[in-house]
């Protein structure tokens, strides 16, 4: 998926929750509190719809679906043993963030895991490690989709889910919150289509007899393309 369920949670307002279980009954004395809920499975389907929208628009330029690429590499400075909640020392923990997918590798093996927390300026903690690594030949890499694809996907997925909640609540079919997220997502994608933003590490679809990356700038196949053409 181009983004995670946690990305959706981070962008949603506080009165909307994503849970696997029943939210329970309201607390006594607070009858006016109302929380709408979506399950992770439903949110995942919205992310899939958002990916279809993105892939359809990017297909004239890029080979889709897009792939995760290494955006940062650094050496491991201490021995790493198999286990859970493993701490790894690096030169600088600044490029890492909680929830990042990272790859540990040496000359013969590699594996993917997730950043659980940032301990300090030179130490990160990962959820689990299967193999052993040593400083002589091991590196740690950040694996992610190019910016701003995760944010665009999250905003579009929110539009689908938010509009459904509004319709179920007998509210207007499209809320201002949904409109704004749709506008931001479309404008960000238009930045890619116009050539203002390049998706790092992705394969380009070429001209008839040449790869698109051989040219200085991409040309949109639509002659009357206008940035931000869709308002909602």
State residue 22's pLDDT score.
Answer: 47
Before 65, cis peptide (omega within 30)? yes
For the chain, state the CA radius of gyration. Answer: 21
Strand order in the sheet with 123-129: 69-75, 139-144, 101-105, 110-120, 123-129, 83-89
DSSP code per residue over 168-187: HTTS-SS-HHHHHHHHHHHH
Name 168's bridge partners.
none
Tens of each residue's pLDDT in the chain, 232 residues: 999 998 998 898 877 777 664 444 445 444 444 455 678 888 999 999 999 999 999 998 899 999 999 999 999 999 999 999 999 999 999 999 999 999 999 999 999 999 999 999 999 999 999 999 999 999 999 999 999 999 999 999 998 888 777 766 555 556 788 889 999 999 999 999 888 888 988 988 866 556 666 665 555 555 555 655 554 4
Q: How far is CA 103 from the centre of its chain?
A: 17
State residue 60's pLDDT score.
Answer: 84
Distance of alpha carbon 106 from alpha carbon 110, whole angstroms: 6
Residue of 230, 220, 215 lying closest to 60 (CA atoms):
220
Please report the domains of the chain, with CATH numbers, ordered by start residue.
Answer: 5-63+147-214 (no CATH), 69-144 (2.40.30.20)
């Amino acid at each position: 998926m181009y983004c995670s369920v946690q990305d959706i949670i981070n962008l949603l307002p506080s009165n909307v929750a994503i849970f696997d279980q029943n939210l329970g009954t309201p607390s006594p004395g607070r009858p006016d509190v109302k929380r709408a809920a979506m399950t992770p499975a439903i949110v995942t389907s919205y992310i899939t719809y958002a990916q279809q929208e993105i892939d359809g628009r990017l297909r004239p330029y890029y080979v889709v679906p897009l792939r995760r690429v290494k955006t940062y590499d650094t050496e491991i400075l201490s021995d790493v043993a198999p286990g859970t909640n493993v701490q790894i020392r690096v030169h600088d923990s600044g490029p890492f963030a909680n929830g990042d997918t990272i790859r540990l590798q040496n000359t013969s093996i590699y594996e993917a895991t997730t950043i659980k927390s940032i301990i300090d300026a030179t130490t990160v903690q990962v959820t689990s490690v299967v193999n052993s690594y040593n400083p002589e030949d091991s590196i740690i890499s950040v694996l992610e989709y190019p910016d701003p694809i995760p944010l665009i996907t999250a905003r579009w997925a929110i539009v689908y889910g938010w509009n459904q909640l509004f319709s179920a609540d007998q509210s207007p079919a499209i809320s201002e919150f949904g409109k704004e997220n749709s506008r931001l997502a479309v404008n960000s994608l238009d930045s890619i289509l116009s050539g203002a933003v390049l998706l790092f590490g992705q394969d380009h679809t070429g001209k008839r007899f040449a790869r698109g990356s051989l040219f200085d700038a991409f040309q949109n196949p639509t002659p009357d393309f206008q940035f931000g053409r869709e308002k909602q």
